[in-house]
Structure 1
Amino acid sequence: MNAVVAHTSMLGEGPVWDARTQTICWVDILSGVLHQFNTRTQQHTSLPVHQLLGAVAVCTNGDFVAALQQGLGFINRDTGAIKMIDAPECHLPNNRFNDGKCDPAGRFWAGTVSLSEQPGAGSIYMLDNNLQIVKKIKHLTIPNGMAWSADARTFYYIDTPAYAVTACDYDDATGDISARRVVIRIPEKDGAPDGMTIDSEGMLWIAHWDGWQVTRWNPQTGEQLHRVALPVARVTSCTFGGENLGDLYITTARKGLSESDLAAQPLAGSLFVVPDCGFTGVAAALFHEQRVAEAV
């Protein structure tokens, strides 16, 4: 395991692998910066968006759809220019968008959270391919990691303070969800579940805030299968990348750590990679929207 670049984020999050350019992308939520590291050129670029930035996904035209502080929008990959789509919580100025990801059909899902983490103040929204935003789940506190099964019949998500992974029946044609149930329970001593990804065997990988680790779970049995230890406590999310999707990328945070914590964890906030980790990921879905090119 090693740090990918000599940069630390205050709240690194939302890693997504762009297979077309062989680039790992991630955000620093609190600094409002979108980071990209091209593994072919070994070039690290930073794109400030000048507002809180919860998550991004790659669009079919190569730009980004983003969960921003003020709503959902597109980010021009070259200039950082933002084209807002809509702000479904403009009436809730103390909320911001948090984690997000594309579903198998190319729709963008993203959750909201209260800046004070007020219980039940968050929701999960879906941005469909016609740029309509639909509220899918409400009364969440810190909606986080999302994943979909390979057969596109199950949607998984985390509400961090619940220390659990919830599964829903999922209709790929419509984005409808139903039959919510808890499939994994996380012991509190292991750290709070944060971001999440899924591998080619349908197993879930969970980052643990204040847990110093990423863990692998079987959602059919609720059993923990594997653990990757980190040299930092605040592990925020993970995804697979690399030419064969065999490299595990992990984001971390410095937020809230004391001076003594930082002295003991000098790499806190780094993006880490475990090359050839022994498992294979699933390619990230692109956001499909015919008017992306005109909108950005």
Structure 2
Amino acid sequence: MTLRPIKQIIPALETSDGAGVRIRRSIGQHQNIRLDPFLMLDEFGSDQPQDYIAGFPSHPHRGFETVTYMIEGHMLHEDHMGNRGDLKNGGVQWMTAGRGIVHSEMPQQEAGQMRGFQLWLNLPAAEKMKPAGYRDIQPEEIPDVHLDGARLKLIAGNIEVDGTIVSGAVTGGSTDPLYADIHMEPNKAITVPVSDQLNAMLYLYDGDATLQHQADRKPLKLSAATILGDGNQVRIEAGDQGARLLLIAGKPINEPVVQYGPFVMNTREEIEQTLRDYRDGHLTA
């Protein structure tokens, strides 16, 4: 068994998206800063309504999936297929843009804390034009994995605990994604198995923690994507404040990526066709 080291740290940059929603973007802040198969990771969080109230009005996507995880707040999803998802504390919206989807994500509160994450997960060329899909995952559908001194909310993937495989709310898929929200008690340590076939990263969003590799311990940076090197285990130690962090991993696709805003394809010609489809009203046809 081999512990994964830190390979790269990508601090999140403050920016805005949608109709002016303030976010922190790590993966995806530039098109050459990605971790195959992940295109983008955004953290949003504010108790100031002006930072989020305008939301994300109706907009298109093609060629990938979005995973929105709400920690605090209340967001409403609507799309051209008639789906309507009420995303609340602890819930997840898993949307497959595929051939094309037009949707909106609008805050349903005028005050209070709005906090969460959105992850963009690429699709291989063979699946980019498949039918769009949507799943609204309620908090009670997400398994809790209890370790000594920690709790994992397993949104996607499988984790082995004491010889038993625990499956998340979403499993399978060509990239075999693993997505866990880890809550650690102060000064506790855990070891999580992560297949060496997957690219992996950590994202510390509360508290403090270190990553152990052999005899070394290196601190995780708050609000940064910590890209992990090769190995099949992740060893995390929480500090005096405890820690809350995301563990995200997936099987690389190893295909060219050409992105134009909300559209992600494999070639420039496919992007140009996508723009024509959107202009002519054929994106979702």
| Same-fold status (TM-score > 0.5) | no
Bigger radius of gyration? 2
**What's the TM-score once normalised by structure 1's chain length?**
0.36
Higher strand share: 2
